Structure 1
Amino acid sequence: MAIKKQFLKSKPICKVTFTVAAKEANNAAVVGSFNEWNAKSAPLKKLKNGSFKGTVNIEANTSHEFKYLIDGTFVNETEADGYAWNDYAGGENSLITV
């Protein structure tokens, strides 16, 4: 799993590329407070090597909770900026700060 951040000079936006290894999976998405936990707004594309990858524009100078949704199962990012307890989910969510 990996996260790559690219800050734009012309706008207060950060292009965040999410990559998750899931060779056996059919579908993957990144969901979080930056997209109202909507899997349809941030699907990840399956690559030939079996990983999934996608880029999301996130407003700069913000912090968000997120998870990967892989074949209906929520998975945390191992390289997240941190983790936050979420009572609704009954577990920790990954954190990203841009």
Structure 2
Amino acid sequence: MAISKQYLKTKPVCKVTFTVSADEAKKVAVVGDFNNWKANKASALKKLKNGNFKGTLELPKENTYEFKYVIDGNYVNEPEADRYQWNDFAGAENAVLEL
């Protein structure tokens, strides 16, 4: 799993690319504060030939977002997250993305 960030000079956004290694998975999505934790078509990552799932979102910069991956219905944290934060609603830690 990996995250890459590309800050745009022309817009106040950051292109965040999420890559998840999940060869056996059928569906992978990224959910978080930025999309009301909804796994839908917009949050789905595309499966590549090498078995990875990949997708890019444009998110407003100078913000912090809690997020997780949904891999075939299971919530999974990003091991390379900027940090982790306890979430009482989830009863678990969420990965945090700092832009």
Give the TM-score, by structure 2 length.
0.97
Give the aligned partner of residue 58 of structure 2. Answer: 57
Q: Secondary structure at the match of 1:34?
A: helix
User: Separation in 2 of the partners of 1:38 and 1:14?
Assistant: 20
Query: What do you get for the CA RMSD once the two structures are aligned?
Result: 0.6
**Moved >6 Å (runs of 4+):** none
User: Separation in 2 of the partners of 1:43 and 1:58?
Assistant: 15
User: Separation in 2 of the partners of 1:86 and 1:22?
Assistant: 25
User: Separation in 1 of the partners of 2:91 and 2:79?
Assistant: 18
Q: Secondary structure at the match of 1:16?
A: strand
User: Separation in 1 of the partners of 2:88 and 2:62?
Assistant: 25
What is the number of residues matched between the two proteins? 98
Give the aligned partner of residue 77 of structure 2. Answer: 76
User: Separation in 2 of the partners of 1:80 and 1:59?
Assistant: 17
Give the aligned partner of residue 35 of structure 2. Answer: 35
Give the aligned partner of residue 8 of structure 1. Answer: 8
Fraction of identical pairs, as percent: 60
User: Separation in 2 of the partners of 1:36 and 1:91?
Assistant: 17
Q: Match for 1:13: what amino acid? A: V
Q: Match for 1:86: what amino acid? A: N
